[in-house]
């Protein structure tokens, strides 16, 4: 097991570096994103007060923020692109991959565009909304867009811990 316990002694100032490293690692991969209209079939936005990390930078939304770009029928992922002063949210059907170095789902192995979550859009309703937490392997029930199906919006996921 590659783990180390740190013990701090009174008067020892070397712990500051270790403490700062622990703080930095604790927010790496952070995704405390909330979606508006989460329990309805209406289009969602990134809710005010959401906090997330993108490629080493922390962002906090100060108001509900729309997700831009058109939405195609099927699974749509919510991607965020971090800029020097802002974050831009877009819909995209490219399935993200896990980046261990950033501790999050990103558009590709070399991308700094992060996936925060997603939704299933059936052409008129946004159902099965989700936000990524820790590393997940997920699935969206493909019958959600079938009005004859008794399943109207169900998801499953497995967390790899």
Predicted confidence (pLDDT) per residue in 97-115, tens digit: 999 999 999 999 999 999 9
Decide if 81 contacts 113 (C-beta within 8 A): yes
Q: What angle do CA 102, 58, 115 make, to 5 degrees?
A: 50
Please, which pLDDT band fits residue 150 given cuts at 50, 70 and 90?
very low
4 vs 34 pLDDT, higher one: 34
Closest C-alpha to 77, from 40, 104, 59: 104
137 vs 12 pLDDT, higher one: 12
Q: Is residue 11 part of a domain?
A: no
- Residue 138 is part of which domain span? 33-159
Return the pLDDT at 61. 94
Q: Is residue 4 part of a domain?
A: no
Mean pLDDT check: name the lowest of 2-6, 68-72, 90-94, 157-161: 157-161
User: What digits encode the pLDDT tens for the residues 5-47?
Assistant: 666 677 777 777 777 777 777 788 899 999 999 999 999 999 9
Q: Is residue 21 part of a domain?
A: no
Please tell me the total count of domains within the chain.
1
d(CA 103, CA 117): 14
Q: Strand, helix or coil at 62?
A: coil
142 vs 135 pLDDT, higher one: 135
User: What digits encode the pLDDT tens for the residues 41-64?
Assistant: 999 999 999 999 999 899 999 999
Residue 47 neighbours by CB under 8 Å, 6+ apart: 33, 34, 35, 36, 61, 64
């Amino acid at each position: 097991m590659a783990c180390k316990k740190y013990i701090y002694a009174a008067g020892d100032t070397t712990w500051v570096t270790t403490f700062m490293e622990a703080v930095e690692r604790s927010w790496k991969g952070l995704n405390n994103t909330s979606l508006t209209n989460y329990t309805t079939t209406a289009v969602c936005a990134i809710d005010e007060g959401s906090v997330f990390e993108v490629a080493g930078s922390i962002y906090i939304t100060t108001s509900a923020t729309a997700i831009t770009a058109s939405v195609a029928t099927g699974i749509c992922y919510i991607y965020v692109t971090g800029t020097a002063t802002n974050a831009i949210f877009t819909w995209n059907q490219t399935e993200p991959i896990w980046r261990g170095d950033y501790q999050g789902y990103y558009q590709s192995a070399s991308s700094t565009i992060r996936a925060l979550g997603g939704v299933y859009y059936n052409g008129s309703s946004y159902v099965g909304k989700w936000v990524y937490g820790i590393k997940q392997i997920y699935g969206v029930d493909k019958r959600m867009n079938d009005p004859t199906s008794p399943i109207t919006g169900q998801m499953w996921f497995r967390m790899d811990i």
